[in-house]
Amino acid sequence: MTQGKVAVIGEKQIVTAFKAIGFDTFFADDPQVTTDILRKLVKENTYAVIFITEDVAKGMDETLAILKSRSYPIVVPLPSLEPNGYGMDCIKKDVEKAIGVDILFNKD
Amino acid sequence: MARLNVNPTRMELRRLKTRLKTAERGHKLLKDKSDEMIRQFISFVKQNKALREEIEGELRDALKYFMLAGSIMGEENIEQTFAMPSLSFTVNTGLKNVMGVDVPKLEILSTEGALPYAITSVPSDMDNAVLKLNALAEKLLRLAEIEKTCNMLAREIEKNRRRVNALEYVMIPQLKETIKYIMMKLDENERSTIIRLMKVKTMLDNQNDR
């Protein structure tokens, strides 16, 4: 068992809140900056979990896809003030990938 | 389906038959593995969805309080308050084996519910927000864990399905076809030998008769 820290990347108003509970925070409000920060953090290898707010995560599918196959760090889209459904989309994509059809969300 | 490029000999036939047996057994095993992985995946994904929905609601609540407090305190004050966080959040990281996939397993190390600032310096909405977030932290990490598990399982299921299909639709038919080809060839050889022997025998008989 090794130890790891938790980071949050996203808009300033949102991430400041997480600073209060001891997460490391990084400000970024567009996908390009976020990708740069994320790359740096992954290289550093001290973070176990990296949360990215949905709004910025939306534009960086490719980078996130690369990280999906590794067990650490765990990169997760974080629902923000107004959830835009990106996090749910990710789950949906997983289901479609594994089973072929979406069996969880077909109600809506 | 193309057959394999092998010599039609008995030895080759034996070798192919064992290969076919192994391939069929492997196919069955992989299929079973796929079924079980999908079963587990579905239960994980259901948890994942429920947890995310729950967190979306609660996080919005907490952030609302935070914004409220923020509007009272002013941006600079907030930054000052949290510039030096008194606690740092660390987790123990490990791996768990789910159907042969190494998925992450997290364990929280530090969760004191203490407020990281002087209680008099901030409005009570901030206390609410921070306490709520603190309570949420564990759920967030569980979400991270489960979401990653789902990601990795989905990938593995996809890979496994490719293996099953390759066995079922390429390897096994190929082997079967080749085995059939060799058997036909061997039978043909045998028949031609018998006929040749019969011919020779009649020829010899004719000679003796004369």
pLDDT category at B206 given cuts 50, 70, 90 is very high
Q: Give a yes or no: residue A74 inside a domain.
A: yes
- Cβ-based contacts of B63 with chain A (< 8 Å): 14, 17, 80-81
User: Chain B: nearest CA to A94, how far in angstroms?
Assistant: 6
pLDDT score, position A105:
67
CB distance B90 to A60 below 8 Å:
no
Q: Give a yes or no: residue B2 inside a domain.
A: no
Range of weakest confidence among A92-96, A102-106, B155-159: A102-106
**What six digits make up the tokens of B135?**
């309570």
Q: Give a yes or no: residue A108 inside a domain.
A: no
Range of weakest confidence among B5-19, B26-40, B55-69, B143-157: B55-69
- How many domains does one find in chain B? 1
pLDDT category at B205 given cuts 50, 70, 90 is very high
Phi, psi of A106 (to 5 degrees): -70, -5
CA–CA dist A22, B134 (Å, integer): 9
Once rounded to an integer, what is the mean pLDDT over residues A59-79? 77
- Among B201, B12, B127, B107, smallest CA distance to A6 is for B107
- How many domains does one find in chain A? 1
Q: Give a yes or no: residue A104 inside a domain.
A: no
Q: Give a yes or no: residue A40 inside a domain.
A: yes
Task: Look at the alpha carbons of B172, B174, B177, B183 in this order and tell me if their dihedral is positive or negative.
Answer: negative
Task: Look at the alpha carbons of B37, B102, A3, A32 in this order and tell me if their dihedral is positive or negative.
Answer: negative
Q: Residue B82 is part of which domain span?
A: 10-209
CATH code of A71's domain: 3.40.50.10580
Instruction: For A22-39, write each residue's pLDDT tens digit.
Output: 778 888 877 788 888 888
Q: Give a yes or no: residue A70 inside a domain.
A: yes
User: Chain B: nearest CA to A9, how far in angstroms?
Assistant: 14
CATH code of B72's domain: 1.10.287.3240
More confident residue, B133 or B11: B11
Looking at the whole model, is its pTM more than 0.95?
A: no
Q: Give a yes or no: residue A84 inside a domain.
A: yes
CB distance A26 to A15 below 8 Å:
yes
Q: Where are the beta strands (DSSP E) in A11-78?
A: 24-27, 47-53, 74-78
B46 touches chain A (CB under 8 A): yes
ipTM of the complex: 0.84
CA–CA dist B28, B164 (Å, integer): 8
